[in-house]
Structure 1
Amino acid sequence: MRPLASPAALDAATPGDRDRYLDLLRALALAVVVFGHWLTAVVWVDGDGLHASTLLERLPASRWATWVVQIMPVFFLVGGVVNARSWRSVLARGGDWPTWVRARATRLLRPVLPLLWVWAVLCAGLAAAGLDPALVRQGSLAALVALWFIAVYLLVIAATPAALAMHARAGRWSPAVPVALGVAAAGVDVAHLAGVGVVGFANFFLVWAAVHQLGICWGDGFLQGPRAQGSKAPWVLLGGGLGVLIVLVGWGGYPASMVGVDGLRSNTFPPSVALVALGFAQAGVVLAVADGARRRLASPRLWRGVIAVNLVAMTVYLWHS
């Protein structure tokens, strides 16, 4: 196994045309998720022994903070930009879809395998020691829950050629495609709440595909750049996303928390259209601060910090639970 290059070496090797802002957003998204999980954990001891819960359960007002710390939509937004560029580059070189998907999957799954091996050995040891199987299952769920993201992201990667085909077919109306996917996610919500339980799992794709599709629009300049209509897109996304989110929570019966809370209806399992609205609002913020962030990332010190976080971000994300 080759040793990881140092941040300084990667800084020196960074192409001049690389969009460093995308790397910052990717690192920030995973870091905020990890620290958010750590900060919301609540552990206490009383006469009945050791207890564990979350701040979201103990303090309902804290659920509003998840509108900021549920930042996973930003990762999928960036993914739309990056995956579209990667697939187009492969096509230009005469590559094919299976090889491309396999390469992307290998890169994504490489840090997962050690986690699975360690947990398999640990579970076998705990079972042999006579630990309650229910506790082993509960621990496994807590340790491996982060893998949902890997599975969904792989699905979105595999669908990138189809996403780009829809994007191209829509032409100047391309920004309507992620909106249409969001509307489809809302339809799934309605069916799910009406009792068609299994249909809710379709939103594991539709919700995150909508945000990914928005990233494709961003990367092609429909939201910020030569094809954008003026400079209003960030504010339309922010205002529209927040407006829809407020309506969904205030009058639509959706939970205020963008992170699952035990015993309550969830916006994350299965994902709901509320996460699409949140993703659009967050995209507005991302676009609004993009120019200033890119200027600051020209600083070697700041860029090396971003590189250092990205070198360990996925590993920390997988192991932090």
Structure 2
Amino acid sequence: MQLSREELINAYRTMKTIRAFEERVNQEMATGDVPGAVHLYAGQEASAAGVCFRLGDGDRIASTHRGHGHCIAKGVDVNGMMAEIFGKATGTCKGKGGSMHIADLDRGMMGANGIVGGGPPLICGAALTAKYRKTGGVAVAFMGDGAFNQGTTAESLNLAAVWKLPVIFVVEDNGFGEATSSAVAVAGDICERARAYGMPAEKVDGLDFFAVEEATARAVARARTGEGPSFLQIEVPRYFGHFSGDTDTYRTPEEKEAMRQKRDCLKIFRERVTQAGLFNPAELDAVDREVDTLINAAVVAARAAPQPDPREVATDVYVSYA
């Protein structure tokens, strides 16, 4: 499907916002003012942006410990996210969740998740709800290549296929499960393993926003028309270590520098749309400046925000169905 200029600029803005957010969070971690650890999504922006491009607020996603990019692509407020990472009361989850547990149910973001393979069972529940209520909603489970080896994922693939749930399983394959290469930890071909459950599976270049969006559009169409689940293996780089305390010595400095120079989805997107004459560099530069201003303001607001009230520690623990 041909995208409009507005859609294209929004896609670029989403990717740039994720990149700027993650680079700034990395800087703020160095100050010691951010509690806990973070798992940065930089390098994988085209995956989140491409998958979430055709999703609406009524569609659901479940994320991973590396969830900031998914949140932003699904429309979660950047100011609330930054405050949440700083552990402040104005955070998306009132400062109680931090980086690994950002959620916004109004936006269809069911939450980042510190449990490897924890998202697929949750998203099957969301998909079953959509199917039962006939809402036309689609549910997407993001996971890493390491999570594909989890029993929870295998059970979810089976359940989604048997019940023909409107699910898209997305493996963001960055080649590593923490510090272990997937080459020595993941048996066989991931897509072939998914096809064994009777669902279509595609391997997608995660540097190419357009390839991700097109593959997702096909999967969304299947889900909305009752054809059941689909599977995407999106190959992406990971610019930082596994988490903020990871010294990342299992990759050489030369490897990491080459990855930044040659495997950058933002550069690829810019080159493609400018060479096609759809935008000039100045228009995209203006978006860059807007995003930088947004992220700077989010950090200032987060630092000035109040700490959570200790009296609220027991609130938001259980849902009341009365």
TM category, shorter: 0.3 to 0.5
Structure with greater helix share of residues? 1
TM-score in terms of structure 1 length: 0.33
Structure with greater strand share of residues? 2
Instruction: Identify which of structures 1 and 2 has the higher relative contact order when contacts are C-alpha pairs closer than 8 Å and 6+ apart.
Output: 1
TM-score in terms of structure 2 length: 0.33
